[in-house]
Amino acid sequence: MARYEEISLILPDGYRAYGRYWPAERQRGVVLYHHGIQSHCGWYEASAERLADAGYAVLQVDRRGCGRNPVDRGHADSADQLIADAHAARDELTRRSGSPRHHVVGVSWGGKLVVAAFVADPTGVQSMSLVTPGLFPQVGVTKSEAAKIGFAMLYEPLRLFDIPLDDAEFFTSVPRWQAFINTDALTLRRCTASFYLGSRRMDRIVARLGQSDPVPTHLLLAGEERIIDNEKTADFAANLKAWEFRITRYPRARHSLEFEEDRCGYLDDLVQFIDKIEYYRPQDCPNRTGRGGQ
C-alpha cells in the first residue's frame, strides 16, 4: 500500500498538476522535492519514503507538462512561470504540513529550479540539497538544434524538440534501472522551444545566487558523471558563504544516485544532512564554514 497521498495542485494559471504528499508519522520537518527535466516524482519514491520514515513530510509535484500531467506535454511559457509553479508547491506544502519552514531537494534539472526559485524568493527555506544538479550541463542541444529552437520561438514556440538525454547509460549502470528509463511511458522525451528558452533564462537567475543570503547547502555528485560538469558545479557552490556547506561524492556512481545498485549510503547522506540542519540553526553556529564529505 502506497505511503503517499495523491493530490492535485492548482498552479497560478489554473493548470492542474499531479503531486504526492508523504506525511510523516511524527513530523519534525518538511521537504519540498523537485525532479529533473525528463523524470517525474515516481523516479524518486525511495528517497521520498526514506525522508518520510525519518520524520519529514515530503511534497513531490510533477512539473507541468511531464510525468502524470498530460496537458501541454513538455511545455512551459517562461522561466517566471516555472518559478511561480515552484512557489505554489512551496505554499501547498506549508498549508498541508503547518510548517512555515522547509528544506528543498532538487535532482538534476530540478536542482536548477531549486536555486532559481530560492533566488527569486527564499521564504522559509532552511537548506538546499542539490543532487547532481543541472547548473552546468555537459550535454545539451547541438548548435544547429539551438538555432532551430531560437527560430521556433519566433513562429512556433510550441514546437517540440528532443531532450538530448536518450541514453539510459548516462543515468545508471544498473541494467534493471536502464530498462526502467527506456520503457517508462511517463518519462518526458521532448520539450517545446518555449520551455528551452525559459530554462536558458533561468541560468541568469541562478547566476545571482551569490547575492542571496546563503542557507546550508549539500551538493551530491556522481563520480562517473556524463551529464553535468562536476568541477564547475563544485566551484560555483564552494563560493557560497553558507554556514554549513558539504560536498558528498560517490566515485563509482552515475548521474541518478537513486538508481544505484546500493543506494543506501546516498539515502542516508541525504537524510543526515537535513537532520543536522533541522537540529542546528545558523544562530547556533554563526561562524560555520563546513566542507565535510569532500
Surface-to-core class of residue 29, CB atoms within 10 Å of its CB (0-12 exposed, 13-18 middle, 19+ buried):
buried
CATH numbers and ranges of domains, the chain: 5-279 (3.40.50.1820)
Between 90 and 287, name the one with better pLDDT: 90
For the segment 218-242, the average pLDDT, to the nearest whole number, is 93
pTM of the model: 0.92
User: Is 77:84 a contact under the CB 8 Å cutoff?
Assistant: no
Reference 75, options 153, 131, 151; nearest CA is 153
Given a cut of 80, whether residue 164 has pLDDT beyond it is yes
Tally the C-alpha atoms within 13 A of residue 106's C-alpha that lie toward its C-beta. 24
Assess whether pLDDT exceeds 90 at residue 153. no
Q: What is the model's pLDDT at position 291?
A: 34
The pLDDT confidence band at residue 165, using thresholds 50, 70 and 90, is confident
Whole-number pLDDT of residue 167: 87
What pLDDT sits at residue 281? 53
User: Which of 131-140, 142-151, 238-247 bottoms out in mean pLDDT, i.e. has the lowest?
Assistant: 142-151
Amino acid 148: pLDDT: 78
Say if residue 81's pLDDT is above 60: yes
**Given a cut of 80, is residue 182 above it in pLDDT?**
yes
Q: Kindly give the residue spans of alpha helices, DSSP state H, lying in the chain.
A: 45-53, 79-97, 109-120, 143-155, 175-183, 193-206, 230-238, 264-279
By mean pLDDT, which of 144-153, 161-170, 172-181 is the weakest?
144-153
Task: Give me the pLDDT at residue 221, please.
Answer: 98
Question: Would you state the pLDDT for residue 226?
Answer: 94
- Higher pLDDT: 213 or 153? It is 213
User: Using an 8 Å Cβ cutoff, are 210 and 242 in contact?
Assistant: no
Q: In 3D, which of 85, 90, 89, 103 has the Cα closest to residue 27?
A: 103
Q: First and final CA of the chain: distance in angstroms?
A: 38
C-alpha cell of 258? Answer: 537513486
Closest to 114 in 3D by CA, of 86, 80, 137, 77: 86
* DSSP of 1-35: --SSEEEEEE-TTS-EEEEEEE--TT--EEEEEE-
Ranges 49-58, 82-91, 210-219, 235-244: which has the least confidence: 235-244
Q: What is the percent of the chain with per-residue pLDDT over 90, rounded to a whole number?
A: 80
Whole-number pLDDT of residue 239 = 84
